[in-house]
Amino acid sequence: MAKMQWPKWTSITLGLALAALTAVGSVKAADCPREDALGTSRIVSVDAKTTPRVGLKSFPQTLPLADHEVVLTFDDGPRPKTTSKVLEALAQECVRATFFLVGRSAAEHPEMVKRIAREGHTIGHHTWSHPHMARIPADAARYEIDHGIASDEMALHGVSTSTPSTPFFRFPYFESTPAQLDLLQARGIVVFGADLWASDWNDMTPEQELKLITERITAAGKGIILFHDAQARTAAMMPAFLRYLRENGFHIVHIVPADTSQRNAEAR
């Protein structure tokens, strides 16, 4: 992946994130086979109507996380060889994350898409082919969004639709235009940036990546973290990173769409 470039954004009202999120209970896995696992501390629902964009690397607001709370997100998958290793590491610690899938990869590996969902993770969308969205015509950008979502939905549910069952989206390279942001907001789709990233698109060893991201999360204290499950270095360092979080008092927050959390609450 190329080096990240910060997008331009227009100001939107601060404080929306606090009004838009609802904690829907602790999920410190009762069925987790390891009592000492990191676990998932709580689920937070994100309402696209009031929280259309989050992540301080791109926008003026983020999720209202408490100190030592982190949200794990992964881009550019699925890639069976590396994504499976990331899933194994997450399962070992009973942790849930969010995967922003490239539609072309989802179409090639539908079994991995189903596995991600089956293991309790949230599936978001990351275009069809991972272009620089701010550098292509409007109709091409719309195609990338719609075809990417439709491919993810086909892989997951067997139905090709540009209406996402999980209305979460992340722009490749964090590049977007105001018109694209407005389009997604009008469609009720949350755009995710990140608060910090592992810079795992750069050439480094797993040990170097672990040192970099642990230093960053220690300094930040909390936040939405960007990884890439398509990167072998990230897959290799993930068990050690999760162990670091557990040993240093961090807590995992799992994000879901507001309507999903409401349905889960009603089912209980």
Active site residue 68: no
Would you say residue 30 has pLDDT above 90? no
Region 71-78: what's the mean pLDDT? 98
% of the chain residues with pLDDT over 90:
82
**pLDDT single digits (tens) 241-253:** 999 999 999 999 9
**Across-strand partners of 252?**
70
Peptide bond into 78 cis (omega under 30): yes
DSSP string, 167-222: -EE--GGG---HHHHHHHHHTT-EEE--SEE--TTSS--HHHHHHHHHHHHHHH-S
CB 161 within 8 A of CB 120: no
* CA separation for the pair 110, 118 (Å, rounded): 12
Q: Which of 25-34, 44-53, 163-172 has the lowest mean pLDDT?
A: 25-34
For residue 193, name the pLDDT band (cuts at 50, 70, 90): very high
Distances (CA, A) of 222 to 64, 67, 70: 10, 6, 5
* CA separation for the pair 223, 193 (Å, rounded): 11
Given the structure tokens 């179409």, which residue do they identify? 107
Q: Annotated catalytic residue: which of 228, 229, 251, 254?
A: 228
**pLDDT single digits (tens) 1-13:** 433 443 433 333 3
Active site residue 75: yes
Domains and CATH numbers, the chain: 37-267 (3.20.20.370)
**pLDDT single digits (tens) 158-189:** 999 999 999 999 999 999 999 999 999 999 99
- Residue 133: exposed, middle, or buried by beta-carbon count in 10 A (0-12, 13-18, 19+)? buried
The closest alpha carbon to 180, from 224, 223, 127, belongs to 127
CA angle 151, 155, 161 (to 5 degrees): 45
Q: What is the DSSP letter of 40?
A: B
The closest alpha carbon to 193, from 98, 68, 116, 92, belongs to 98
